[in-house]
């Protein structure tokens, strides 16, 4: 049997599963029978540990009432800091540089309000045209609040192919007019990884503050934010980190910036020993906790106690290694089995630039996604013609990857997708 034939056989997939050092984590998750879930880069699955952690916080409310703030296994008053410590290793930060709080958009508003200070000719923010819309909306809003016209003061780096960005193009836009840069670590459509270290060094060479949106990288790829001297970062916790729908987000502030006043102040940014003095002069925390605002949403943070514990056990390097193996395997099968079906693999192929999902383009993408769901495979559609498939290291298998491509082959051969309308559902 030739090398390609071996790869195409289900026995090859099963052998990879037998060799998988992370395979036992699959048992930790609630996986629907006969369903292959490949949308973990939009919403990760519920784990039994996350469920247990949530029930634990509910139980402390039941037992202690108001005293749950300082009593029980996980006192609520310190939960955001505890979760920040548990997150720090995933982003290469020190514990005090990381806090679990807010949401992606709230944290971006907070950080831009704190670090964007138009001065002289430096009055513009640099972003990119492929970024997730919420980041752009927030940046436009912050410019408007400063009395600046977003049409003139928000600079968006152009993409040559509509899928990826060239770091040379980003650096070329770092002019003396730029006061702040906000970029994604991983582009949400194509899965391209940007070189954070290189871009941060280029920004700092020009005395520009730079921050990153880690929504599509945290829990999927390793980071070294402190070593790279990144100024700030923010993220959600419901994708690869499996914190649950609407889970509390997180942010990172480099310790060089401790003491910077939060742009949007609130009482939970206070120093803990002063918070309940109820004075009208804020004494802010001396770490990333200063950038908290209101009382933490405990029931939306609690699942992370269980989820992050799993990540500590699995190790982000092991997760990344399996993720690359899964996506390499999926692309090899697509190349071999779907050559005649006009699919384009639109994500970067090399490991240094590819995040945790495969991005396919096809003119019938919306229909194909609906047909996949009808075949119990959960993908993610991105208008106008994108299909994201995210085999997640902690709960997807190589056999599932093999089965996905086989079912997709049948869908295309039998033209099953033609029974569906080629437009997205209300929630894509």
Q: Are residues 303 and 342 in the same domain?
A: no
Which positions ≥6 away from 174 have C-beta within 8 Å?
126, 181, 202, 203, 206, 208
CB atoms within 10 A of CB 382: 20
Confidence of residue 427 (pLDDT cuts 50, 70, 90): confident
Q: Are residues 162 and 279 in the same domain?
A: yes
Q: How does pLDDT run across 28-61, given as a tens digit for each residue?
A: 999 999 999 999 999 999 999 999 999 999 999 9
pTM: 0.97
Tell me, yes or no, whether 44 lies in a domain: no
Q: Are residues 179 and 225 in the same domain?
A: yes
Strand-pair category, 124-128 with 377-378: unpaired
- pLDDT at residue number 123: 98
Q: How does pLDDT run across 165-215, given as a tens digit for each residue?
A: 999 999 999 999 999 999 999 999 999 999 999 999 999 999 999 999 999
Question: How many domains does the chain contain in total?
Answer: 2
Q: Are residues 184 and 303 in the same domain?
A: yes
Q: How does pLDDT run across 62-100, given as a tens digit for each residue?
A: 999 999 999 999 999 999 999 999 999 999 999 999 999
Q: Is the pLDDT of residue 235 over 80?
A: yes
Tell me, yes or no, whether 173 lies in a domain: yes
Give the mean pLDDT of the chain: 97
Strand-pair category, 250-253 with 98-100: antiparallel
Q: Are residues 300 and 343 in the same domain?
A: no
Tell me, yes or no, whether 403 lies in a domain: yes
Domain end, chosen from 294, 313, 332, is at 313
Sheet architecture: strand order including 358-361: 344-345, 358-361, 386-389, 380-382
Distance of alpha carbon 157 from alpha carbon 52, whole angstroms: 44
Q: Are residues 21 and 74 in the same domain?
A: no
Tell me, yes or no, whether 333 lies in a domain: yes
Average pLDDT over residues 292-301: 97
- pLDDT at residue number 4: 67
Q: How does pLDDT run across 11-29, given as a tens digit for each residue?
A: 999 999 999 999 999 999 9
Average pLDDT over residues 216-242: 98
Confidence of residue 10 (pLDDT cuts 50, 70, 90): very high
Share of the chain above pLDDT 70, in %: 99
Q: Are residues 326 and 409 in the same domain?
A: yes
Q: Is the pLDDT of residue 326 over 70?
A: yes
Confidence of residue 424 (pLDDT cuts 50, 70, 90): confident
Strand, helix or coil at 277? coil
Tell me, yes or no, whether 289 lies in a domain: yes
- pLDDT at residue number 2: 58
Domain end, chosen from 313, 338, 373, is at 313
Q: How does pLDDT run across 117-146, given as a tens digit for each residue?
A: 999 999 999 999 999 999 999 999 999 999
Buried b (16+ CB within 10 A) or exposed e, 89-124: bbbbbbbbbbbbbbbbbbbbbbbbbbbbebeeebbb
Buried b (16+ CB within 10 A) or exposed e, 33-70: eeebbbbbbbbbbbbebbeebbeebeebeeeeeeebbe
Residue 239 token pair:
């994708």
| Long-range contacts formed by 154-160: CB under 8 A, 24+ apart | 154/124, 154/125, 154/127, 155/124, 155/125, 155/126, 155/127, 156/127, 156/128, 156/129, 156/131, 157/126, 157/127, 157/128, 157/129, 158/129, 159/128, 159/129, 159/130
Tell me, yes or no, whether 423 lies in a domain: no
Angle formed at CA 19 by CA 38 and CA 372, multiple of 5 degrees: 20
Residue 396 token pair:
């997807």
* Annotated binding-site members: 104-105, 132-135, 213, 216, 238, 267, 295
Domain end, chosen from 313, 339, 359, is at 313
- pLDDT at residue number 6: 81
Q: Are residues 380 and 360 in the same domain?
A: yes
**CATH number for 377:** 3.90.1150.10
Structural domain boundaries enclosing 265: 51-313
Tell me, yes or no, whether 355 lies in a domain: yes
* Annotated binding-site members for pyridoxal 5'-phosphate: 104-105, 132-135, 213, 216, 238, 267, 295
Tell me, yes or no, whether 114 lies in a domain: yes
Q: Are residues 108 and 237 in the same domain?
A: yes
- pLDDT at residue number 278: 93
Q: Are residues 303 and 349 in the same domain?
A: no
Sheet architecture: strand order including 232-235: 98-100, 250-253, 232-235, 209-213, 178-184, 124-128, 154-157
Residue 426 token pair:
């209300």
- pLDDT at residue number 93: 98
- pLDDT at residue number 3: 63
Q: Is the pLDDT of residue 151 over 90?
A: yes
Would you say 20 and 322 are in contact if contact means Cβ atoms under 8 Å apart? yes
User: Residue written as tokens 């060799």?
Assistant: 19
Q: How does pLDDT run across 245-270, given as a tens digit for each residue?
A: 999 999 999 999 999 999 999 999 99
Confidence of residue 357 (pLDDT cuts 50, 70, 90): very high
Q: Are residues 299 and 330 in the same domain?
A: no
Give the dihedral sign, CA 236/238/244/250: negative
Residue 148 token pair:
């600046």
Residue 388 token pair:
């994201």
Q: Are residues 202 and 287 in the same domain?
A: yes
**CATH number for 224:** 3.40.640.10
């Amino acid at each position: 049997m030739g090398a390609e034939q071996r790869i195409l056989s289900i026995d090859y997939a099963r052998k990879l599963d037998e060799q998988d050092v992370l395979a036992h984590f699959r048992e930790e998750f609630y996986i629907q029978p006969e369903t292959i879930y490949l949308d973990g880069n939009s919403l990760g699955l519920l784990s039994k540990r996350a469920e247990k952690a949530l029930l634990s916080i509910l139980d402390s409310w039941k037992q202690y009432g108001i005293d749950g703030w300082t009593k029980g296994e996980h006192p609520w008053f310190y939960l955001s800091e505890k979760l920040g410590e548990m997150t720090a290793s995933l982003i290469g930060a020190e514990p005090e540089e990381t806090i679990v709080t807010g949401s992606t958009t709230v944290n971006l508003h907070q950080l831009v309000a704190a670090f964007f200070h138009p001065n002289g000719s430096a009055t513009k923010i640099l972003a990119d045209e492929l970024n997730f819309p919420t980041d752009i909306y927030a940046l436009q809003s912050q410019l408007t609040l400063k009395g600046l016209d977003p049409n003139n003061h928000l600079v968006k780096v152009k993409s040559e192919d509509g899928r990826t960005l060239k770091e040379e193009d980003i650096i070329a836009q770092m002019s003396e007019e730029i006061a702040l840069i906000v970029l994604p670590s991983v582009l949400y459509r194509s899965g391209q990884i940007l070189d954070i270290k290189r871009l941060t060094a280029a920004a700092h060479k020009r005395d520009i503050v730079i921050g990153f949106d880690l929504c599509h990288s945290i829990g999927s790829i390793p980071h070294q934010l402190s070593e790279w001297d990144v100024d700030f970062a923010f993220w959600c916790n419901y994708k690869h980190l499996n914190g649950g729908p609407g889970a509390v987000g997180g942010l990172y502030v480099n310790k060089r910036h401790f003491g910077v006043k939060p742009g949007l102040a609130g009482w939970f940014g206070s120093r803990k020993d002063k918070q309940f003095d109820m004075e009208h002069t804020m004494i802010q925390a001396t770490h990333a906790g200063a950038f908290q605002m209101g009382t933490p949403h405990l029931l939306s943070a609690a699942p992370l106690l269980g989820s992050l514990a799993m990540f500590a056990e699995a190790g982000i390097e092991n997760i990344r290694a399996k993720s690359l193996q899964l996506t390499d395997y999926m692309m090899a099968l697509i190349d071999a089995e779907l050559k005649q079906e006009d699919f384009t693999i639109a994500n970067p192929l090399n490991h240094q630039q590819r995040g945790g999902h495969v991005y396919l383009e096809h003119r019938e993408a919306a229909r194909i996604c609906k047909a996949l769901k009808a075949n119990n495979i959960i993908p993610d559609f991105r208008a106008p013609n994108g299909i994201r498939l995210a085999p997640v290291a902690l709960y997807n298998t190589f056999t599932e990857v093999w089965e996905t491509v086989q079912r997709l082959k049948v869908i295309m051969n039998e033209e099953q997708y033609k029974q569906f309308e080629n437009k997205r559902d209300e929630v894509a």
